Homo-oligomer: A and B are copies of this chain.
Amino acid sequence: MTTTIQSWVEEIRSGNLRAIARAITAVENRAPDSHALLKALFPYSGNARLLGLTGSPGAGKSTLVDALAREFRKQDKTIGIVAVDPTSPFTGGAILGDRIRMQAHHADPGIYIRSMATRGSLGGLASTTADVATVLDASGRDLVMIETVGVGQDEVDIVRLADITLVILVPGMGDDVQSIKAGIMEIADIFIINKADREGAERVEREIRNMQSLAPRPDNWVPPVVKTVASDGTGVADLARAIEEYGAFLQSSELGRKRRIENWRTRLLEMLRDEVLHRVVHEYMNGESASRYATEVAEHKRDPYTLVEEIVASIAK
């Protein structure tokens, strides 16, 4: 490890916000030094509790995350928040959102918020988010919250990498339980009905309960349904308690350890795939050779099946 990386790691561990911000930017951009940094930070990670929160656009996620962060601050816990919005093609909105949210907390260095947009990359977002969480974890935050807009597989992949997954629903707005992607409902450890003062909250709860009675979890945990009105703080203390309870359940049942192993199995495979693909493209399918191969196949001078076999054989030689 170079002294630069070493001193950077020290700054991050001491909670220096500029060093943390610089590290997250490096990880997000997959900068050349980010790999060495992550290696050096990894031994100091693993102590934070990772919370994943997802819900449809308009479910009041940001407000709820902020309210929950303030609630945990009362217990003197330090918080890192990563807000991922794969639906926003530009960082402009995310950055603006950051600024507005930072203002509310700016007197409190115990809450650090960072937004990430997708930069148009389809794969690897879950991996990058997990690495950003590792930076915040290694910086000594007690709790790292990862919030995302629950609209597709990407988001399921992101929040699945947390220890505890919270799914936020709202009454009305067309996102009845039935219309929510099944994949999202299944990953919930805790359900939140936000804006619960609206009409229809009871119906949403009933629908969740019906679903639960049809498909009990193998670990026998029955995800609680917590009703909140994040904008005025109603129910947020209950939510914090529900999170603590599930945390205790994870601990007592060895489930937390199992879940982290399962998450790492998924992540390792993704990391391996990304790295192998990167190497293959770099060495065997770079601009020049790719054009030559594609031309030969398009002109039927070569068959693609044998070609791919040959390239793979030459890699694994």
Contacts and interface: CB of A to CB of B under 8 A. Distances in A.
Nearest to A316: B315
Nearest to A271: B308
Interface stretch (A11-19, A48-56, A201-209, A292-300): A292-300
B290 A280 contact: no
Contact of A300 (B43, B265, B269, B303): B43
A261 B291 contact: yes
Dominant secondary structure of chain A at its interface with chain B: helix
Interface residues of A, number: 49
B38 A295 contact: no
Interface in A262-313: 262-265, 267-269, 271-273, 275-277, 279-281, 284-285, 290-291, 293-295, 297-298, 300, 303-309, 311-312
A42 B271 CA distance: 34
Contacts of A30: none
Nearest to A311: B272
Contacts of A268: 285, 290, 293-294, 297, 304, 307-308
A74 interface: no
A280 B272 CA distance: 8
A153 interface: yes
Contacts of A300: 42-43, 45-46
Contacts of A277: 273, 276-277
